[in-house]
Amino acid sequence: MKGVAALLAVACYEARMAARGRGVWIGMVPMAALALLVGMGRLDGAESARLNAGAVAEALTLVVPVGVGVVLADRLRRGTAAGLGDLLDSVPLRGAARIGAVLAGGLAVALLPVLPVTAVLGAAAAVRTGDAAALPWTALAFLVVLLPACAWITALAGVLALVLPAPLARAFVVPAWFWAVAWNPRLLWAPTPVGTLLVPSGEYPAQAWFGTTPSWAGNGQVGWLSPAADGTVTGLANLACVLLSTALLIGGARLIMMGKR
């Protein structure tokens, strides 16, 4: 219980610091506008509210995590500034848990401009389909499709910025995201998680709980890692893989930060 309170306190502190600096959420405002454009393009009132919510969330997951990763890349790095590490180690929360809380606080602020966009898209879906259930479906799609992807890219960007200069890490986040979710290995071969259970693109959860038709899921390069998207089992397995790789990235960040001190 005490650990949870400390976790929340660190996350809240980081969120307040990020919100005060204003760079994080102002940097996400153009991306939120782009997300509105992308999401509106995917809305068609012909289908059910549930399907619309899933399709919109899947489209948002292609672009929004890029902005999140770029904006949050230096969040962990600033914790390694001279002397700050000792100070931060005095909070009653050690190791990887603190890194997770730091990233969660930044992520919450970065997603602030995306929240109203999601609400607008949910309302638009409700109007187009004439079904008020589109609003809760869109909120659910935000939680299970978009949020895990953003957590994954935040951890990846944090680790990249620990081993590379921050501008270079920002430059790497963009191709890394498209390599992870949209690389077409048939056009130009490269080892990529696209189509496998490891992919953070949210295709498996969107198929499992919103009934969308995945474009890549099940067509990965490793047969046993890319089962056909088939309901709750593959959806949960994909979510578990994405959250596990996020945890591994956070653990890696912890090791790098310990090595630097």
Q: Is the dihedral of CA 162, 163, 165, 167 positive or negative?
A: negative
The answer to the question of residue 175 lying near another protein (CB under 8 A) is yes
Q: Which stretch binds another protein (CB under 8 A): 46-54, 138-146, 171-179, 206-214?
A: 171-179
Q: Which stretch binds another protein (CB under 8 A): 9-17, 117-125, 162-170, 237-245?
A: 162-170
The answer to the question of residue 28 lying near another protein (CB under 8 A) is yes
> Closer to another protein at the Cβ: 23 or 231?
23
| Given 37, 143, 163, 233, the residue binding another protein (CB under 8 A) | 37
Q: Which stretch binds another protein (CB under 8 A): 34-42, 96-104, 128-136, 225-233?
A: 34-42
Q: 120: buried, middle or exposed (CB in 10 Å: 19+, 13-18, 0-12)?
A: middle
The answer to the question of residue 34 lying near another protein (CB under 8 A) is yes
| Given 3, 16, 33, 127, the residue binding another protein (CB under 8 A) | 33
In angstroms, what CA-CA distances link 68 with 1, 25, 79, 111, 239? 30, 10, 18, 8, 19
The answer to the question of residue 206 lying near another protein (CB under 8 A) is no
In angstroms, what CA-CA distances link 251 with 5, 158, 255? 21, 11, 6
> Closer to another protein at the Cβ: 3 or 167?
167
Find the shortest distance in angstroms from Cβ 252 to another protein: 22
- Sketch the per residue contact string, 67 through 106, with another protein: x for CB under 8 A, - otherwise: x--xxxxx--------------------------------
The answer to the question of residue 66 lying near another protein (CB under 8 A) is yes
> Closer to another protein at the Cβ: 183 or 209?
183
The answer to the question of residue 65 lying near another protein (CB under 8 A) is no
Which residue in this structure is represented by tokens 């292609």?
62
The binding site for another protein (CB under 8 A) comprises 21-24, 26-31, 33-34, 37-38, 63, 66-67, 70-74, 165-168, 170-171, 174-175, 187-188
